């Protein structure tokens, strides 16, 4: 047990460390009332030393609370004590897709199609609400129960405003689009599509398309989309990868057209498609995500009918409540006085305010469908 956090965070019993990064440590936790495992992401307040780091943390909270899609890791709860913030998230027992690919060497195209379709669907959903991930890579794709995957780590995501390009370079160079590496203004949605192309290449080959042991050569390859395909790949997957790895962002295939690609017919031939998990993936209703124009993003961002709860977060770093028009911002100040378990049954949430444009729409939702957990 780590000495940095208590054994219990309310009714969540900490069961060990899953992993750690520059800003946070992730723990496995069990809630006996719900009989379910969760991941608790612990941010030390002392590590958030400036407004930029606070913004990164806040951005991750905003996005995970705002989004509701089976292919995205969900935020179920958030607490704070004197030393830390605690984000209660979906627990994905299968670990990272990156490690799975290393273990299996590569995925056959049938299984890769089944997995990649989930990833593209989830990112298409994010884009429809004006959110670009900007750090897509196999390490940020978690396995629930294979082949079910979920995208995580939205700390570097960007909010898209109408007719606005981004200029900040973020993400991992191997998966980053050339326009980002060259410090050009870029559309975060189109840079995500490039990253998806690199991910798919890695899934079906077990390798990167670039020579990563030499930075200068790697950058030159990325700038020119200079790579070769192994001979065992089908022409269909080569065409699909190539349609995403275009140097000119405007030439990259849209997510809508990617999802229509005939290569995805391979998923029906995957051995996992006949499993219980596979059946759910093939038959469940996914949110319809039409290709929309940037002018519609503000309207989409204000639409709460598809979402589980209010989407105007009060930042942990301010007491102000000012809903943002173009990007999510939750309505709750989610705070507890102590991470120890409560004796009396009470809510861990304290309401800070409600946006008139985002009234709670709970009448048609069961209690199990949203994130308010009474302790």
d(CA 62, CA 103): 34
pLDDT one-digit tens code per residue, 77-102: 888 888 889 999 999 999 999 999 99
pLDDT one-digit tens code per residue, 98-114: 999 999 999 999 999 99
What domains does the chain contain, in order, with CATH numbers? 8-90+309-369 (3.30.200.20), 95-294 (1.10.510.10)
Percent of the chain whose pLDDT exceeds 90: 42
pLDDT at 201 over 90: yes
306 marked as part of a ligand binding site: no
User: Could you tell me the pLDDT band of residue 165, with boundaries at 50, 70 and 90?
Assistant: low
* pLDDT at residue number 212: 84
d(CA 371, CA 87): 12
Identify which of 59, 93, 121 has the alpha carbon closest to the alpha carbon of residue 260. Answer: 121
d(CA 281, CA 81): 39
| Max avg pLDDT among 250-259, 271-280, 284-293 | 250-259
Q: Which of 90, 135, 153, 310 is the catalytic position?
A: 135
Is the distance from CB of 123 to CB of 138 less than 8 angstroms?
A: no
Q: Between 275 and 328, name the one with better pLDDT.
A: 275
Element holding 240 (H helix, E strand): helix 235-244
Q: Angle of helix 188-205 relative to helix 235-244, nearest 10 degrees?
A: 150
Q: Is 135 a catalytic residue?
A: yes
Cα-flanking dihedrals φ and ψ of residue 294, to 5°?
-60, -30
Is the distance from CB of 130 to CB of 301 less than 8 angstroms?
A: yes
Q: Is 208 left (phi over 0), alpha (psi -120 to 50) or beta?
A: beta
């Amino acid at each position: 047990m780590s000495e940095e956090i208590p054994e219990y965070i309310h009714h969540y019993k900490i069961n060990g460390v899953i992993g750690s990064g520059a800003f946070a440590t992730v723990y496995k936790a069990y809630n006996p009332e719900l009989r379910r495992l969760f991941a608790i992401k612990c941010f030390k307040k002392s590590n958030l030393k400036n407004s930029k780091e606070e913004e990164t943390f806040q951005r991750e909270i905003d996005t995970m609370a705002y989004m509701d899609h089976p292919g995205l890791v969900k935020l179920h709860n958030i607490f704070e004590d004197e030393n830390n913030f605690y984000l209660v998230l979906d627990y994905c027992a299968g670990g990272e897709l990156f490690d799975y690919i290393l273990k299996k060497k590569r995925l056959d195209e049938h299984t890769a199609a089944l997995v990649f379709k989930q990833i593209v669907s989830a990112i298409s959903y994010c884009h429809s609400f004006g959110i670009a991930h900007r750090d897509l890579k196999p390490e940020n794709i978690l396995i629930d129960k294979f082949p079910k995957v979920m995208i995580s780590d939205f700390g570097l995501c960007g909010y898209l405003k109408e007719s606005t390009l981004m200029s900040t370079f973020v993400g991992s160079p191997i998966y980053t689009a050339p326009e980002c590496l060259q410090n050009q203004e870029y559309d975060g949605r189109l840079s995500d599509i490039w990253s998806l192309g690199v991910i798919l290449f890695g899934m079906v080959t077990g390798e990167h398309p670039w020579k990563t042991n030499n930075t200068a050569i790697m950058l030159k390859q990325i700038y020119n989309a200079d790579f070769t395909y192994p001979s065992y790949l089908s022409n269909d997957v080569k065409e699909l990868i190539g349609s995403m790895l275009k140097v000119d962002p405007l030439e990259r295939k849209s997510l809508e057209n990617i999802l229509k690609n005939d290569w995805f017919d391979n998923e029906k031939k995957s051995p996992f498609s006949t499993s219980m998990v596979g059946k759910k993936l093939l038959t469940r209703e996914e949110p319809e995500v039409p290709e929309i124009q940037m002018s519609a993003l503000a309207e989409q961002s204000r639409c709460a009918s598809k979402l589980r709860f209010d989407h105007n977060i009060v930042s942990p770093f301010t007491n102000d409540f000012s809903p943002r028009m173009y990007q999510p911002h939750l309505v709750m100040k989610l705070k507890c006085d102590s991470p120890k378990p409560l004796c009396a049954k009470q809510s861990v949430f304290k309401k800070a305010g409600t946006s008139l444009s985002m009234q709670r729409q709970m009448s048609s939702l069961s209690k199990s469908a949203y994130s308010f957990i009474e302790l």
